[in-house]
């Protein structure tokens, strides 16, 4: 008769195995933030942050990256308390003066440097030997200021008035990033005006991956949605030796796809003369087609069945373009692989809803950019920690399942609660002041509390909460635990639930 291992013992064993590499990585992040190179990158002008003050460039970086309160005064109290220097709290005016000195690009630099260190660590998780990356873009609302209108509204042909530009573009920033879906790491990100194309932004991220993050691009696999298929992306990735799986639109190479006799075939694409003009903008793409007259692309066709909003059975045809071989990934594996791209959508949701990336504290454009880009750097660090905790929960579930002692559902960490616990346990003090014991204590505590801050993963579960019509507005002044009694607005004589 076999005896079952108690769950507490299983959890303790997994924690001891996982904690040390994670602590070592956060210590290296602390060293990068406090380095002389970062101090130089953080300056808008050579004279900025040169005098020894209680609010250094490192403090400014940490403040804008880990900002989480809705009010600047409360945030200053919280930040200086978290770093153990409440008596050195600065005023709001001093904060904004320092915010104007901080170069927003420093957060992209830190994100790239953090990625470089991460892929040297023991924490890297792979799928069939590949590090799976996803590329996607979104829009971020910029503050309502003349500078934001000038830089980030729709740049048309001069026929649009300022009022029309504001109405059409809503002062939105186009943000794109390259995201590691298995490890929660943001490798690189770029931002531009509202109507900037996402393909050149993707190319910039691939250059960062090639030139800065890794010497072996062949172990990386790129996922992207149907707005990314192009000869530029395909040839560039092939030249680098990477793999890709990109969903295509219905009209993408439709003549070649129509000739397919099965749902999993290789097509051969020869670029037209006009295409070479675009390809010549990138030396790697041009070099690829100098060596090859055409490019071979594997196409997997999948018929997806679903129930529409009227409750009727419907179906749509999905196309996946890839250079993965059938020996590595079958057609079913390709479909499952592409579904992992959803991780970047979840990360954008966390940035907008949990970290409130669109909450601005100043109309100054430099400070607004620091607020936005700082949150992305923060999400990268906490994303890696969160994925490690999810991995611990997964390992505990698998061990318990093998012994017949598993719960009904698998679990994942509640991101918002995890961030709150890490802050309360002094991780900001540990990172800013290089206190390794504080970092270890914060990470150990959050892992030990994982059974208290986890949430079940319920597949195919969705309860529509917004844009629902209700008979009458809620009677309670506040929502119960953030869920029931959503706010409502009157719409054509009827009440409808709204997010804000």
Domain ranges of the chain: 7-105+352-456, 125-347, 465-500
CB 262 within 8 A of CB 326: no
> What angle separates helix 105-118 from helix 7-33, to the nearest 10 degrees?
130
- Each residue's pLDDT tens digit, 285-323: 988 998 888 899 999 998 887 666 666 777 888 999 999
Task: Report residue 157's pLDDT band, with 50, 70 and 90 as the boundaries.
Answer: very low
* Lowest mean per-residue pLDDT among 129-138, 216-225, 336-345, 464-473: 464-473
- Each residue's pLDDT tens digit, 430-475: 999 999 999 999 999 998 888 888 888 876 555 566 677 777 776 6
Q: Burial level of 499, CB count in 10 A (0-12/13-18/19+)?
A: exposed
Q: Helices in 102-248 by DSSP H: which ranges? A: 105-118, 146-152, 162-169, 198-208, 231-240
For the chain, the residue count is 500
Residue 274, pLDDT above cutoff 70? no
Q: Burial level of 187, CB count in 10 A (0-12/13-18/19+)?
A: buried
151 or 13: which carries more pLDDT confidence? 151
Could you give the 3-state DSSP secondary structure of residue 401? helix
Q: Helices in 189-330 by DSSP H: which ranges? A: 198-208, 231-240, 254-258, 273-279, 283-291
Strand 494-497's sheet: what is its strand order?
A: 469-470, 494-497, 488-491
Say how many C-beta atoms besides its own lie within 10 A of residue 368's C-beta. 24
**pLDDT, position 491:** 74
* Kind and range of the H or E run holding 373: helix 365-402
Q: How far apart are CA 378 and CA 453, in angstroms?
A: 20
In this prediction, residues 21-39 reach a mean pLDDT of 94
Task: Report residue 175's pLDDT band, with 50, 70 and 90 as the boundaries.
Answer: very high
Q: Burial level of 201, CB count in 10 A (0-12/13-18/19+)?
A: buried
Task: Report residue 13's pLDDT band, with 50, 70 and 90 as the boundaries.
Answer: low
- pTM value is 0.85
For 87, which DSSP code? G
Q: Which of 332, 140, 340, 325 lies closest to 224, judged by CA?
A: 340
Q: Which of 163, 122, 90, 97 lies closest to 366, judged by CA?
A: 97
**pLDDT, position 211:** 86
Q: How far apart are CA 293 and CA 255, in angstroms?
A: 19
Residue with tokens 């009904």: 408
Residue with tokens 């149907």: 226
Average pLDDT, whole number, for the chain? 85
CB 473 within 8 A of CB 449: no
Residue 243, pLDDT above cutoff 60? yes
Q: How far apart are CA 66 and CA 75, in angstroms?
A: 10
Task: Report residue 6's pLDDT band, with 50, 70 and 90 as the boundaries.
Answer: low
- Each residue's pLDDT tens digit, 207-230: 999 888 887 888 999 999 998 988
Tokens of 164: 């029309």
CB 57 within 8 A of CB 43: yes
Radius of gyration (Cα) for the chain, nearest Å? 25
Residue with tokens 């949701």: 349
For 290, how many CA atoms within 13 A lie in the half-sphere containing its CB? 8
Please give the backbone phi and psi of residue 477, each rounded to the nearest 5 degrees, phi first: -75, -35
235-249: buried (b, 16+ CB within 10 Å) or exposed (e) per residue?
Answer: bbbbbbebbbbbbbe
Q: How far apart are CA 391 and CA 384, in angstroms?
A: 11
Residue 271, pLDDT above cutoff 60? yes
Angle at 67 between CA 64 and CA 73, to 5 degrees: 100
**pLDDT, position 1:** 44
330 or 5: which carries more pLDDT confidence? 330
In this prediction, residues 51-74 reach a mean pLDDT of 89
CB 244 within 8 A of CB 225: no
Q: DSSP readout, 266-289?
A: EEEE---HHHHHHHTTSHHHHHHH
Say how many C-beta atoms besides its own lie within 10 A of residue 482's C-beta. 9
Q: Burial level of 449, CB count in 10 A (0-12/13-18/19+)?
A: middle
CB 300 within 8 A of CB 337: no
As a CATH number, domain 125-347 is 3.90.350
- Each residue's pLDDT tens digit, 357-378: 988 888 888 998 999 999 999 9
């Amino acid at each position: 008769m076999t005896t079952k291992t108690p769950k507490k013992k299983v959890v303790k064993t997994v924690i001891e195995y996982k904690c040390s590499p994670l602590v070592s990585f956060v210590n290296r992040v602390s060293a990068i933030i406090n380095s002389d190179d970062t101090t130089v990158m953080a300056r808008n002008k050579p004279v900025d942050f040169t005098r020894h003050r209680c609010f250094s460039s490192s403090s400014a970086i940490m403040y804008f990256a880990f900002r989480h309160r809705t009010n600047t005064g409360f945030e200053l109290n919280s930040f200086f308390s978290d770093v153990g220097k409440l008596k050195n709290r600065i005023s709001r005016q001093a904060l904004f003066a320092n915010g104007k000195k901080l170069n927003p690009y420093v957060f992209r630099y830190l994100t790239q440097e953090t990625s470089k260190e991460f892929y040297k660590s023991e924490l890297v998780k792979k799928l069939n030997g590949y590090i799976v990356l996803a590329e996607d873009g979104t829009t971020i609302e910029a503050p309502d200021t003349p500078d934001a209108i000038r830089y980030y509204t729709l740049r048309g042909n001069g026929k649009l008035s300022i009022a029309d530009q504001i109405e059409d573009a809503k002062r939105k920033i186009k943000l794109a990033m390259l995201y590691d879906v298995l490890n929660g790491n943001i490798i690189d990100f770029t931002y531009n005006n509202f109507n900037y194309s996402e393909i050149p932004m993707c190319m910039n991220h691939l250059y960062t991956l090639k030139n800065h993050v890794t010497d072996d691009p062949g172990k990386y696999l790129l996922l992207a949605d149907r707005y990314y298929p192009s000869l530029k992306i395909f040839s560039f990735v092939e030249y680098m030796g990477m793999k890709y799986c990109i969903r295509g639109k219905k009209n993408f190479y439709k003549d070649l796809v129509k000739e397919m006799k099965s749902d999993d075939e290789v097509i051969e694409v020869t670029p037209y003369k006009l295409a070479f003009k675009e390809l010549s903008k990138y030396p790697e793409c041009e070099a690829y087609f100098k060596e090859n007259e055409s490019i071979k692309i594997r196409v997997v066709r999948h018929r997806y069945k679903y129930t529409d909003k009227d409750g009727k059975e419907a179906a749509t045809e999905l196309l996946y373009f890839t250079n993965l071989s059938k020996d590595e990934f079958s057609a079913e594996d390709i479909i499952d692989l592409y579904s992992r791209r959803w991780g970047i959508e979840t990360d954008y949701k966390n940035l907008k809803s949990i970290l409130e990336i669109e909450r601005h504290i100043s109309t100054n454009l430099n400070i607004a950019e620091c607020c936005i880009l700082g949150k992305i750097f923060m999400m990268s660090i906490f994303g890696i920690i969160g994925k490690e905790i999810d991995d611990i929960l997964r390992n505990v579930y698998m061990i318990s399942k093998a012994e017949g002692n598993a719960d009904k559902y698998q679990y994942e960490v509640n991101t918002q609660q995890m961030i709150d616990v890490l802050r309360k346990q002094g991780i900001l003090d540990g990172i800013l002041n290089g206190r390794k014991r504080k970092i270890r204590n914060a990470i150990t505590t959050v892992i030990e509390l994982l059974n208290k801050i986890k949430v079940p993963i319920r597949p195919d579960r969705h309860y529509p909460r917004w844009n629902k019509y209700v008979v009458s507005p809620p009677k309670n002044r506040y929502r119960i635990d953030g869920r029931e009694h959503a706010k409502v607005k009157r719409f054509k004589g009827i009440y409808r639930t709204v997010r804000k």
